[in-house]
Amino acid sequence: MLLPINNVLDKKTVEQFRTALDKTTWEDGKITAGGQAKQVKVNQQIQDQSDLAIELGNHILKVLGRHPQFLSAALPKKIFPPKFNRYNNADHYGPHVDNAIMHLPDHQIMRTDLSCTLFLSDPKEYDGGELVIETTYGAQQVKLAAGDLILYPSTSLHQVLKVTKGARVCSFFWLESMVRDNQQREMLYTLDQSIQTLTIERGADDNEVRHLTGIYHNLIRLWASS
Ligand SMILES: O=C(O)CCC(=O)C(=O)O
Ligand SMILES: [Fe+2]
């Protein structure tokens, strides 16, 4: 499932992020890529452990930590500290699959189940730069408004097309989910969203709402690892 989540950051916050990012130092994105990805990666990034990356990254994590739709869809166990990239002057990132295992700054490791891009440039600011994700239903092109985020399975082959005008600035990161299997996680998300709608329509004291909520939690018990 490719899931867009709108307005993760409001316009004012995006503006504050951009003011800081537009005047910071950017380095070659190849520095942090390995193997096959290094060969096809042509973009810029800011240093992962810089004060700015940590400050902005923590803000994103705080917002996501209380975002019901994100939490329901991702069921996150570990989230990689958000990174920041920029594509301009014909930058692009050729087709690749993200590494399965990532090393966290505290020397722990995590498995990547879901990949995220949080757009910090408005589509009007640049030409090209679509994130193209291969799915079982064909390639999907993603280009979202500034402040919106796309969540997609890390198992997917994906690429960022050449930016031919302007600049595409994003934050990107990965997460390990408590539910490893994409299909199980997607069913839990659909069930949870349906329960939320039903609860609004019928109230929390409704018999079916009670049963379905119980089933949701019991499926989590069966499928989640903490
Ligand atoms: O810029 C993006 O949207 C994705 C970047 C990416 O695929 C990566 O860094 O692995
Ligand atoms: Fe990637």
What's the CA-to-centroid distance between 137 and ligand 2, angstroms? Answer: 19
Residue 33 has pLDDT above 90, yes or no: no
Which 3 state secondary structure label does DSSP give 206? coil
The one-character DSSP state at 171 is E
pLDDT of residue 46: 96
Cβ pair 142, 130 in contact under 8 A: yes
Q: How far apart are CA 190 and CA 136, in angstroms?
A: 19
Name the residue with tokens 């500290």: 81
Domain layout of the chain by residue ranges: 3-177, 182-223
Q: How far apart are CA 223 and CA 142, in angstroms?
A: 30
Per-residue pLDDT tens over the stretch 73-86: 999 999 999 999 99
What's the CA-to-centroid distance between 108 and ligand 1, angstroms? Answer: 22
Which of 26, 36, 141, 172 gets mutated to test ligand 1 (max ligand atoms within 8 A of its CB)? 172
User: Please, which residues have CB within 8 angstroms of residue 157's CB and are 6 or more apart in sequence?
Assistant: 95, 96, 97, 133, 134
Which ligand approaches the C-alpha of residue 80 most closely?
1
Which of 26, 43, 84, 85 gets mutated to test ligand 1 (max ligand atoms within 8 A of its CB)? 85
Q: Which residue CA neighbors atom 9 of ligand 1 most closely? A: 172
* Binding-site residues, ligand 1, Cβ < 6 A: 85, 93, 98, 117, 131, 158, 160, 170, 172
Going by the annotation, the residues of the binding site are 96, 98, 158, 168
Cβ pair 8, 141 in contact under 8 A: no
> Can you give the three-state secondary structure of 71-125, one letter per residue?
HHHHCEEEECCCEEEEECCCCEEEEECCCCEEECCCCCEEECCEEEEEECCCHHH
Q: Which residue CA neighbors atom 2 of ligand 1 most closely? A: 117
Range 118-130 average pLDDT: 98
pLDDT of residue 31: 84
Residue 224 has pLDDT above 90, yes or no: yes
pLDDT of residue 119: 98
Q: Does domain 182-223 have CATH number 4.10.860?
A: yes
Regarding beta strands 3-5 and 149-153, do their DSSP bridges make them parallel or antiparallel, or are they unpaired? Answer: antiparallel
What's the CA-to-centroid distance between 20 and ligand 1, angstroms? Answer: 21
Name which of 71, 87, 51, 86 is nearest 175 in CA terms. Answer: 71
Range 148-152 average pLDDT: 98
- Cα distances from 126 to residues 119, 120, 144, 156, 196, in angstroms, run 12, 12, 12, 25, 37
Q: How far apart are CA 135 and CA 117, in angstroms?
A: 17
- Cα distances from 17 to residues 24, 86, 123, in angstroms, run 11, 13, 17
What's the CA-to-centroid distance between 62 and ligand 1, angstroms? Answer: 21
Q: What is the CA radius of gyration of the chain?
A: 18
Q: Which residue CA neighbors atom 3 of ligand 1 most closely? A: 117
Q: Does domain 3-177 have CATH number 3.40.50.300?
A: no
Rounded to the nearest 10°, the torsion over CA 67, 168, 13, 20 is: 130
Per-residue pLDDT tens over the stretch 46-56: 999 899 999 99
pTM exceeds 0.90, yes or no: yes
